[in-house]
Structure 1
Amino acid sequence: MTEQPSYESTTAWRELTAGLAELDAAFLTGERAAPDEVGAVGGYRMLATLLGVACDTYLFPDTARPRFVETVTPHRRDRRWGGDNTDAWYLLCVLDPARHYRVTGRRHDSVYFSLTVYNQPAPGAWSDRVIGVVNDSDLTFGPDGEFELRMGPTRPDDWTGPFIELADDAFVALTRDYQGDPLTGRPVEWEIEAVEPAGPVIRSDAATAAALRAMLGWMRTMLAIVPTPLAQRAEEPTPGQLGHETAHGTNEFAEPYQVPDFVFGWSATDACYSFGSFDLEPDEVLEATFRPPACRFWNLTVWNEYMAGSSATDGRTSINIETAVLNDDGTVTVLIGRSLPEHPNGVTTLDLPRGNLALRFFHPDRVPERPVTRVQRAAG
């Protein structure tokens, strides 16, 4: 009998498959167990999504031959995760901090867009620091909306335009592209190339094993965050809480906050967030009123307990700066129901009885006041 070869990637693959078999405990057991079939099914869909994103992030990238890949879009059902929303495209590209990169693009119909570089504290660990940000106000555009920026460990001598200096722990570039109408808006065209020669393609046993282990570590971290508990929140936040865990009650929003430079995950430091939750009967709607500050873009999005939204074609599950109808005093009142309320600012949960709400503002001139909410009976 021929002896089976021994590879580190074989060991890592078996660790990954064994680990995957245990991840559903996050939503099947304990205090965060899914209360019904909808929650459990959402958990398995989330696991499949996270596996795909982990492959895109750790297994398949070639930092010498970079390309942006879709990590959130208004339409892909396999990319509903991590606090997504129906109004945006997010693209991801893994970087080598020792290389120089040239990024080019064309803006098209975007209301607001940016590129953020995040670090990686350890293989498979979530980012905890923003390396640099370039948004559309930092760019110079050509007659057809074309633009260019650079990234690298040092600024090129011949480049005076927008530049992100890559620290030694720089890991990933994430683009954000917000549309007023995701069904008709054309997203930014992003292209990236490495300046230095690529060299030969090498796929080693050690590198593959390291990637597989990083994938599992990253997925375990995500399943430590979601599902989020949707019962009554604590009256006071506890030390070390993440932004989406800020204390608030059911059918309420938490106090808005500006994202700091030191973050957990891929949060946007040019954004201000207020997170909420809902728990509604079929004949109830949640009314939320707030005063948007002057900003580049804002939207309110419905999530399930896995911080995942829906496809833009499923129904009106979000509202934004271009689609909302303001009150006479400049405030906005949104009605959120399990079916779509008959209201100019009606939003549907697609019959989800409970879930999360995310209200975000990009480049606000101030941190807004906390939204005021009340539950009422649906009209009719």
Structure 2
Amino acid sequence: MTDEITPSQAAWNRFADGLKRVGEKIVGPLGARSARERADGFRYLASLIAGGQELEMEADRAHPVLTRMFTPIRSFVGDGPDTLYHEAKLDEKLSYRFTMRRGDDIFFSIVVYASDDEGMRSMVSFLIDKDIAFEDEDGAEVATIHIGAQRPEGAKNWLEVKGNRPFIMTRQYFPECVVEVDEGKYRAATMNIECEQDVPPREQYTEADLSSGLERIIDFLDDTVDAGLGVSAIVGMSTIEYDNDDNATPTRIGEDGTLVVDEESDDRYSPDEIFDMIDPKVVANNLPGPGIGYAGVSFKLADDEAILIWGKDVPCRYWSCQIFDHYLRAGDYRHYPVALNNRQVVLDQDGSFRIYASRRNPGVKNWICTQGHRRGQVVLRTLLAEEELTPEMSVIKVADIPEPDRL
């Protein structure tokens, strides 16, 4: 018997060590501050492992496959419950043909992302539905989009590829939660991507492939956890919580503030200390999309309190108000209403809205569920807005909700 281990075992042991290291971030300075957040955090990592295996380990840039990024049980970097996201990894030296038959979405976009030599990710090129040359095929909108370094002659639709480790992401927004798409109420687009060059079939799997694939999973976990905690910390620099002062001014989105990292103490980090902890790539690597605007604050909330979000409707393709947990996860939208969009919200006669977020439904016209999170983010997302959506937010006692807002 020998004490030597095989290359596959060594790769797996390195993977296990990497998981332990990433797990330390869950309980680190920007991580969990309660038993609930620790349980949520490690459950989050388990879902990312599964996602990393599908999105990173099995990716083949010569034979790309459009893979669903987020599901009702896999959420990260601020995904929206009303949106289907797919991605496919590309090779900057190859060109591709993307075909689609549009479904029942209210907005579609396709974006090429790539990294620079320092690992900073950015949008390289994109198309949104109004700029895509669709053709009619038996009443359906169909399109072909060429993707590569050079535009083919005569191509109606083209996306440029350049940079390191490029990939595409598609977004399909729907009038309701994507669970309704999964259950057949709305049709998702039929999409396919294939390499335009003749490429050899994928070679048989090797121990070297296993090692590099497991490394990609760890890299994916590192980047994703850093992005979630980093953006959460930055948003947390504007925090709302209950104030008994009747004259208190509601915290406006975007104001500077101080992040409280421990609910059980008065330990605080200054904005400079927060930024020192955050890799500057985390915001850029959080995959911004064309035409999308975000505004939000962090909250601290007790069980007898509610967040009041009020503002005025604006002309746009779509807007939503959504609760995220500390890791920038969308919440369990299979069982709880964690978001409301502009097609669902009940407006007053003057076009204004008042949305309440709390653990339980206090019996109001517009409610989203916090799932009992004591801290997290409330974020408004706009899509092709003609005017800036500028809501205000405050924390009030549930008992103080005015009667006109109740059902």
Report the CA distance between 1:361 and its aligned residue.
0.7
Do residues 339 (structure 1) and 339 (structure 2) align?
no
Question: Which amino acid is 1:198 matched to?
Answer: V
Do residues 277 (structure 1) and 307 (structure 2) align?
no
C-alpha distance in structure 2 between counterparts of 1:168 and 1:10, whole Å? 34
Asked if 2 retains the 8 angstrom alpha-carbon contact of 1:72 and 1:88, the reply is no
Task: Give TM-score, length-normalised by structure 1.
Answer: 0.84
Question: Which amino acid is 1:191 matched to?
Answer: N
Q: Which has the larger helix fraction? A: 2
Pick aligned residue for 1:167 from 159, 162, 166: 162
Report the CA distance between 1:18 and its aligned residue.
0.6
Aligned to 1:146: 142
C-alpha distance in structure 2 between counterparts of 1:349 and 1:253, whole Å? 20
Structure 2: segments with no counterpart, 5+ residues: 242-250, 256-282
Do residues 287 (structure 1) and 286 (structure 2) align?
no
Larger radius of gyration: 2
C-alpha distance in structure 2 between counterparts of 1:121 and 1:10, whole Å? 33
Question: Which amino acid is 1:154 matched to?
Answer: Q
Pick aligned residue for 1:61 from 59, 62, 66: 59
Q: Describe the SS at the equivalent of 2:68.
A: strand
Structure 1: segments with no counterpart, 5+ residues: 234-243, 257-261
Judging changes above 3 Å, is the alpha-carbon distance between structure 1 residues 132 and 292 closer, same or farther for their aligned structure 2 residues? farther
CA deviations 1:346-368 (Å, max 9, x no partner) are 11112223221221111222433
C-alpha distance in structure 1 between counterparts of 2:231 and 2:69, whole Å? 25
Q: Describe the SS at the equivalent of 1:26.
A: helix
Aligned to 1:129: 122
Judging changes above 3 Å, is the alpha-carbon distance between structure 1 residues 374 and 36 closer, same or farther for their aligned structure 2 residues? closer
Aligned to 1:180: 175
Aligned to 1:221: 223
Report the CA distance between 1:119 and its aligned residue.
0.5
Query: What number of residue pairs does the alignment pair up?
Result: 355
C-alpha distance in structure 1 between counterparts of 2:349 and 2:398, whole Å? 24
Report the CA distance between 1:39 and its aligned residue.
0.5
Asked if 1 retains the 8 angstrom alpha-carbon contact of 2:56 and 2:220, the reply is no
Question: Which amino acid is 2:126 matched to?
Answer: V
Question: Which amino acid is 1:192 matched to?
Answer: I
- Aligned ranges 1:242-261 → 2 under 5 Å: 245=235, 247-251=237-241, 252=251, 254-255=253-254
Aligned to 2:333: 312
CA deviations 1:289-348 (Å, max 9, x no partner) are 123432221111111111112233212110012111222222222111111232222111
Aligned to 2:84: 89
Judging changes above 3 Å, is the alpha-carbon distance between structure 1 residues 141 and 337 closer, same or farther for their aligned structure 2 residues? farther
Report the CA distance between 1:173 and its aligned residue.
0.8
Asked if 2 retains the 8 angstrom alpha-carbon contact of 1:253 and 1:274, the reply is no
Judging changes above 3 Å, is the alpha-carbon distance between structure 1 residues 340 and 359 closer, same or farther for their aligned structure 2 residues? same
Aligned to 2:248: none
Q: Describe the SS at the equivalent of 2:240.
A: coil
C-alpha distance in structure 1 between counterparts of 2:330 and 2:236, whole Å? 20
Report the CA distance between 1:253 and its aligned residue.
5.5
Report the CA distance between 1:4 and its aligned residue.
5.5
C-alpha distance in structure 1 between counterparts of 2:34 and 2:372, whole Å? 14
C-alpha distance in structure 2 between counterparts of 1:295 and 1:181, whole Å? 16
Report the CA distance between 1:206 and its aligned residue.
4.2
Question: Which amino acid is 1:146 matched to?
Answer: V
- Mean alpha-carbon deviation: is it higher for 301-310 or for 328-337? 328-337
C-alpha distance in structure 2 between counterparts of 1:281 and 1:152, whole Å? 52
Judging changes above 3 Å, is the alpha-carbon distance between structure 1 residues 82 and 116 closer, same or farther for their aligned structure 2 residues? same
Question: Which amino acid is 1:149 matched to?
Answer: I
CA deviations 1:74-121 (Å, max 9, x no partner) are xx31x1112122111111111111222111222222111211111134
Question: Which amino acid is 1:134 matched to?
Answer: L
Aligned to 1:109: 104
Q: Describe the SS at the equivalent of 1:54.
A: helix
Do residues 34 (structure 1) and 27 (structure 2) align?
no
Q: Describe the SS at the equivalent of 1:210.
A: helix
Judging changes above 3 Å, is the alpha-carbon distance between structure 1 residues 65 and 33 closer, same or farther for their aligned structure 2 residues? closer
C-alpha distance in structure 1 between counterparts of 2:374 and 2:236, whole Å? 21
Asked if 1 retains the 8 angstrom alpha-carbon contact of 2:55 and 2:69, the reply is no
Aligned to 1:119: 114
C-alpha distance in structure 1 between counterparts of 2:252 and 2:226, whole Å? 22
Q: Describe the SS at the equivalent of 1:350.
A: coil
C-alpha distance in structure 2 between counterparts of 1:185 and 1:350, whole Å? 27
Task: Give TM-score, length-normalised by structure 2.
Answer: 0.79
Asked if 2 retains the 8 angstrom alpha-carbon contact of 1:340 and 1:348, the reply is yes
Q: Describe the SS at the equivalent of 1:86.
A: coil
Identity rate, percent:
21
Judging changes above 3 Å, is the alpha-carbon distance between structure 1 residues 15 and 170 closer, same or farther for their aligned structure 2 residues? closer
Aligned to 1:241: none
Report the CA distance between 1:227 and its aligned residue.
4.0
Q: Describe the SS at the equivalent of 1:129.
A: strand
Asked if 2 retains the 8 angstrom alpha-carbon contact of 1:247 and 1:254, the reply is no
C-alpha distance in structure 1 between counterparts of 2:231 and 2:56, whole Å? 29
C-alpha distance in structure 1 between counterparts of 2:6 and 2:305, whole Å? 60
